[in-house]
Amino acid sequence: MESISLNTQKLVSLPKITWMESLAKRFVLKFLRGLKKGHLVLEDQGQVFVFGQTLKEADIVAHIHVEDASAYIDLLLHGTVGSGEAYIRKSWTTPDLVNVIRFFVINIDEMNAMDNNRPWIMRAVTALGHQLSPNTKEGSKKNIAAHYDLGNDFFNVFLDPTMMYSAAIFDNKSDSLEVASLNKLQIICRKLQLKPEDHLLEIGTGWGGMAIYAASNYGCKVTTTTISMQQYRHTLKRVEEAGLSEKITVLLQDYRDLTGKYDKLVSIEMIEAVGHEFYATYFAKCSSLLKDHGLMLIQAITIPDQRFEYAKNSVDFIKKYIFPGGCLPSIQEISRCLSKHTDMLMVHMEDIGKHYADTLAIWADRFNKNVDSVKAQGFDEQFCRMWEFYLNYCEGGFRERVIGTGQFLFAKPAVRSL
The pLDDT of residue 1 is above 50: no
The mean per-residue pLDDT over the stretch 197-205 comes to 99
The pLDDT of residue 193 is above 90: yes
pLDDT digits (tens, 9 = 90+) for 117-163: 555 444 444 544 445 445 566 655 555 655 667 889 999 999 999 99
* Confidence (pLDDT) at 111: 84
d(CA 268, CA 7): 53
Q: Is residue 195 part of a domain?
A: yes
Closest CA to 106 of 147, 162, 59: 59
Give the residue numbers annotated as catalytic, written as ranges: 394
Phi, psi of 345 (to 5 degrees): -115, 145
Query: Which of 58, 85, 118 is the endpoint of a domain?
Result: 118
Q: Is residue 127 part of a domain?
A: no
Query: Which of 83, 118, 153 is the endpoint of a domain?
Result: 118
Q: Is residue 69 part of a domain?
A: yes
Q: Judge if 142 and 107 occupy the same domain.
A: no
Q: Judge if 68 and 144 occupy the same domain.
A: no
Q: Judge if 62 and 158 occupy the same domain.
A: no
Q: Judge if 310 and 246 occupy the same domain.
A: yes
Q: Is residue 416 part of a domain?
A: no
Asked whether the beta carbons of 291 and 263 are under 8 A apart, the reply is yes
Q: Judge if 404 and 261 occupy the same domain.
A: yes
Q: Judge if 28 and 170 occupy the same domain.
A: no
Q: How many separate domains does the chain show?
A: 2
Q: Judge if 106 and 241 occupy the same domain.
A: no
Asked whether the beta carbons of 236 and 244 are under 8 A apart, the reply is no
Q: What is the three-class DSSP state of 200?
A: strand
pLDDT digits (tens, 9 = 90+) for 88-99: 999 999 999 999
The pLDDT of residue 384 is above 80: yes
Q: Is residue 46 part of a domain?
A: yes
Closest CA to 153 of 376, 324, 321: 376
pTM for the full predicted model: 0.90
Report the interhelical angle of 381-399 vs 70-88 (nearest 10°).
90
* Confidence (pLDDT) at 140: 58
Q: Judge if 71 and 164 occupy the same domain.
A: no
For residue 366, count other CB atoms closer than 10 A to its CB.
16
Q: Judge if 150 and 112 occupy the same domain.
A: no
The mean per-residue pLDDT over the stretch 317-339 comes to 93
Q: Judge if 157 and 40 occupy the same domain.
A: no
pLDDT digits (tens, 9 = 90+) for 284-315: 999 999 999 999 999 999 999 999 998 888 88
Q: Is residue 353 part of a domain?
A: yes
pLDDT digits (tens, 9 = 90+) for 8-56: 344 445 567 899 999 999 999 999 999 999 999 999 999 999 999 999 9
Q: How big is the chain, counted in residues?
A: 418
pLDDT digits (tens, 9 = 90+) for 215-235: 999 999 999 999 999 999 999
CATH number of 250's domain: 3.40.50.150
Q: Judge if 218 and 71 occupy the same domain.
A: no
Provide the pLDDT confidence category of residue 6 given band limits of 50, 70 and 90.
very low
Q: What is the three-class DSSP state of 25?
A: helix
Query: Which of 118, 153, 188 is the endpoint of a domain?
Result: 118
* Confidence (pLDDT) at 9: 41
Q: Is residue 154 part of a domain?
A: yes
Q: Judge if 141 and 230 occupy the same domain.
A: yes
Domain holding 67, by residue range, is: 8-118
Provide the pLDDT confidence category of residue 104 given band limits of 50, 70 and 90.
very high
Q: Is residue 386 part of a domain?
A: yes
Burial class (CB in 10 A: 0-12, 13-18, 19+), 121: exposed
